[in-house]
Amino acid sequence: MSKIESLSSPRLPAPRFRYSPLVKAGPFYRSAGMIALDSNSGKLEAGGAEAEAAKILRNLREALPDFKLALTDLVNVTIYTTDFANFLAINRAWEAVFAADCHLPARTSVGVSALPLGATVEMEFTFYREGA
């Protein structure tokens, strides 16, 4: 039996191509890049970078129970943005989820020239859960 599993959740937007939304490898869980898609319509969230970041984080939080994960298992997030001028807006969405007194994952931010489907924000998540 493989120690690597592909996982999915009906609460996440369905992939448009052949990839796994989440892969479990031992105690580590690694997400594919997530953009702000509505899981029902498949459309990109309107409203700019803050709305997109909030939608990504909302999609993630809604799917976590399907993977038996919690935000306290989150160890790293990589945020991609097409415009660092939007970073304060992205950070407002982030801080609405990650208060100063809660577990804070490591975070890296990367500027890119373009993202899928015209998104301005994309995030990748890495979780660790012992005994998984």
Domain ranges of the chain: 4-128
Which pLDDT tens digit goes with each residue over 98-127?
A: 987 778 999 999 999 999 999 999 999 999
Cα–Cα distance between 29 and 92 in angstroms, integer?
Answer: 26
> What's the fold here for domain 4-128?
60s Ribosomal Protein L30; Chain: A; (3.30.1330)
pTM score: 0.92
Residues sharing a CB contact under 8 Å with residue 99, sequence separation 6 or more, in sequence order: none
pLDDT digits (tens, 9 = 90+) for 53-88: 999 999 999 999 999 999 999 999 999 999 999 999
Let me know how long the chain is. Answer: 132
User: If you search the block for the tokens 């970041």, which residue do you land on?
Assistant: 53
CA-CA distance, 95 to 54, in Å (whole number)?
A: 10
Instruction: Specify the pairing of strand 74-81 against strand 106-111.
Output: parallel
Q: Which residues are CB-contacts of 96 (< 8 A; sequence separation ≥ 6)?
A: 54, 57
